[in-house]
Amino acid sequence: IKILVINHVKEVNLGSYEAFFSSDKHDFKIFNFSSLEKPPSTDKFHALWVMGGPMNVWEEDRYPWLIKEKLFIKNWVLKLEKPFFGICLGHQLLGEALGASVIKSKNPEIGFKQIYLSQEVCSNNILKNFSEEMLVLQGHSAEISDLSNKGVTVLASSKDCSIQALSYLNHAFSVQFHPEVVNKTIQDWISIPEIKCDFNEAVGQKGISEIIEYQQKNRRSLINAAKLIYENWMNLIKKK
């Protein structure tokens, strides 16, 4: 399939998913709305992925290109109803497109944390067979709130964030956490001043080292968890 990937900064990228796309021979194009180029035509792509980034959903004054990106996502998900997957900022942008508020978190989540899967049985679950024992990488200080859209199913939550994963109808899915983490991910993130500041404030230099160490020790199981989400997503969109 042809996948359009919206990137916000080069340091927050597809991670492990790039290898999965390549191995399954998907064509993918990376586009950044901040380039101010004209976005690709929607009819050239089967699916849209929206990645994370250091900006907040509400920072349109600082990042005016966000306005066009939001309209693009809204059109894709609500009007065209084509397959979608969002991570972190991409998750929040989907939430806003579906009528939710995105607010500053009372307790930002930084580092490897536990999530709790919804006990509600649903047919469109990208976290099917995901283990609750698997800690996931968090890196956010904003979250979705007040999401009452009837087409939405909340698939997971955590101690400090009520919407960690969601599905909308049978084509749009997103996660607040970062399944794409690979060896260089955290080092790349903290090369961005805003992210480094958030991490330092939350866990300090020692905590950052521990996060990197945890990722390296659990590299294989983290990649397997990312692959499970990807395979679930692929199976669900094939049904569509």
**Angle (deg, nearest 10), helices 89-97 and 66-74:** 60
Are residues 157 and 119 in contact, defined by beta-carbon separation less than 8 angstroms?
Answer: no
Whole-number Å distance between alpha carbons of 152 and 174: 11
Looking at residue 122, the DSSP 8-state letter turns out to be -
Structure tokens at 199: 């991490």
> By three-state DSSP, how is residue 142 classified?
strand
Of the candidates 185, 191, 217, 135, the one whose C-alpha atom is nearest the C-alpha of residue 15 is 185
Of the candidates 18, 81, 83, the one whose C-alpha atom is nearest the C-alpha of residue 47 is 83
Least confident interval from 83-92, 118-127, 196-205: 118-127
104 φ/ψ sector (left φ>0, alpha ψ -120 to 50, else beta): beta
Are residues 102 and 58 in contact, defined by beta-carbon separation less than 8 angstroms?
Answer: yes
pTM, to two decimals? 0.96
> By three-state DSSP, how is residue 44 classified?
helix
**pLDDT at residue number 29:** 97
The tens digit of pLDDT for each residue in 100-137 reads 999 999 999 999 999 999 887 677 889 999 988 889 99
**pLDDT at residue number 133:** 87
Structure tokens at 78: 């609500």
**pLDDT at residue number 140:** 93
